[in-house]
Amino acid sequence: MNTSPLSLFLPCAAGVEGLLADEVARICGDSAQQVRAARGGVTLSAGWPAVMRLNLHSRLTQRVLLQLMVRPYRSEQDLYEAAAAVRWEDWFGPRQSFKIELTAQHSPLKSLNFAALKVKDAVADRFREQRGSRPDVDTQRPDARIFVHLTAESVTLYIDTSGEPLFKRGWRADKGDAPLKETLAAAMIAASGWDARTPLYDPCCGSGTIAIEAAQIACGIAPGSLRRFGFEQLLPHQAAEWAALKQEALAARHAPTAPVFGSDVSHRMVDFAQRNAQRAGVADAVQLRGGDALQRMPPTEVPGVMLLNPPYGERIEAGGVAGAQRGGREQAQVEGGSGDFFAQLAAHWKKHYAGWTAWVLSPDAKLPTRMRLKESRRIPMWNGPIECRLLRFDMVAGSARRREGGAGDAAPGA
Ligand SMILES: C[S@@+](CC[C@H](N)C(=O)[O-])C[C@H]1O[C@@H](n2cnc3c(N)ncnc32)[C@H](O)[C@@H]1O
């Protein structure tokens, strides 16, 4: 097995870099060196065993990339020469297929398609020279994926070890209109500092992403245990070591350390979430129910953590009581968004959820004003292209009556 240090780059959503660096350190221990949060990801130096371990255990990264070359460029010909100098034949063979994925920031080149074509030609030509034949391109199900990243001045070439992006855990076959990526749900859980000992509840759970991620954590289930990875097709792959690592992960599963709950006003969604939980191996570790977040009482006597991405009013409107007030439909599509919903939700929490901490992911900068609550933390996070914040609200025990209707109810500046 190749144990010499490899330069790895683990891309993640903006805002998640610090959490990912902590996760990498936890997963790899001493086997990773120079773990650094960079822009849009984490860099580190580690061996092949860490590559397998990170793919299997990371909840936060989108993929695990091996950096093979970085050098300055100015033209397409420079890209060709850079790609032709990489020993691709160490990673895959001429009978396998490959694909080029190219991203760029401020590249001076006119056509990124042409740039990708030049890299493809360089890889093919190198194989012809070194091995006498060349691998085919397959854009759908390639054996090997080559990632090219261009900045204004430099090109970086990577071989991907993940294959399908890591947010595809393999359990979410059923989803609604606005599902959260599993990696972002995991980032919300990590940012909240949930310790997997106190109860966790998502009252707008949709297809169950947050609750299922949390239940897997509570049960010690590795996020990648249901899927396959790109590295299994690469030449350095060692099946016996990989089988042992998977076995170790299987043996680490345990009974849940904390209760996890989810509910949604849409019974169809609860049904989806239940089926997803089953596939994820946590059907017994998460309790899923139908019900309006404006009416549901705490699922446990012991206060815990609420974690949710509620209906934004863009793809999904608030349903239940708030929806009915606006037109009597389960998912009313009316002007004015979900404003009333949030005021009512805050009032319900103040009254019934004393002692709980609520973490809400929202693109709405005015959400605290609408809820008449002052957030105690505000963490920037991107939900795909949507700029959001994860807001923490502390439902202080005993403060509900004092606050209701009083001046102390309003967020400063509201
Ligand atoms: C943005 S989606 C949540 C997506 C979820 N995190 C997932 O990954 O599938 C918002 C969810 O809130 C639900 N919802 C809308 N109004 C609600 C209400 N009054 N009470 C509870 N859930 C509600 C919708 O049915 C939808 O599933």
pLDDT classification of 95: cutoffs 50, 70, 90: very high
Cα torsion angle, 270, 271, 272, 273, sign: positive
Place of tokens 């002692």: 355
Are 276 and 287 in contact, with CB atoms under 8 Å apart?
A: no
Measure 206 CA to ligand 1 centroid, in angstroms: 5
Q: Is the CB of 262 under 6 A from ligand 1?
A: no
310-343: per-residue pLDDT in tens?
A: 997 655 567 677 666 655 443 433 334 455 899 9
Mean pLDDT of 277-303: 97
At 407 the pLDDT is: 33
pTM: 0.90
Question: Is any ligand 1 atom within 6 A of the Cβ of residue 316?
Answer: yes
Counting ligand 1 atoms within 8 A of each CB, the residue from 260, 307, 316, 367 with the most, and so the one to mutate, is: 316
- Residue 312's pLDDT is 77
What pLDDT is recorded for position 333?
A: 34
Ligand 1 proximity of 265 Cβ (cutoff 6 Å): yes
Residue 411's pLDDT is what? 33
Binned at pLDDT 50, 70 and 90, residue 1 comes out as: very low
Q: How many CA atoms lie within 13 A of 359 on its CB side?
A: 24
Q: How many CA atoms lie within 13 A of 316 on its CB side?
A: 20
Mean pLDDT of 101-109: 96
At 398 the pLDDT is: 53
Query: Cα(268) to centroid of ligand 1, in Å?
Result: 11
**Ligand 1, atom nearest to 311 Cα:** 10
Question: Which pLDDT value is given to residue 68?
Answer: 98
- Which residues, at least 6 apart from 318, have a Cβ–Cβ distance to it below 8 Å? 310, 311, 332, 338, 340, 341
d(CA 22, CA 7): 18
- C-beta of 179 in contact with ligand 1 (< 6 A): yes
Q: How far, in Å, is the centroid of ligand 1 from the Cα of 264?
A: 6
Structure confidence at residue 401 (pLDDT): 45
Judge whether residue 226 has pLDDT over 90. yes
345 lines ligand 1 (CB under 6 A): no
- Between the alpha carbon of residue 314 and those of residues 39, 118, 363, the distances in Å are 29, 41, 10
Residue 324: its pLDDT value, please? 64
Q: What is the H or E stretch that residue 18 is in?
A: helix 17-28
Predicted pLDDT of residue 339: 54
Q: Which of 83, 161, 165 is nearest to 127 (CA)?
A: 83
Q: How far is the CA of 318 from the centre of ligand 1 (A)?
A: 7
pLDDT at 71 over 80: yes
pLDDT band, residue 396 (cuts 50/70/90): confident
Q: What single string gives the DSSP state of each residue in 232-248? A: GGSTT--HHHHHHHHHH
CB 306 within 8 A of CB 188: no
Question: Quick one: pLDDT at residue 404?
Answer: 44
Give the residue, 212 or 396, on which the prediction is more confident: 212
User: E strands, 94-203, where?
Assistant: 97-104, 136-137, 144-150, 154-160, 200-202
The more confidently predicted of residues 183 and 406 is 183
Residue 409 has pLDDT above 60, yes or no: no
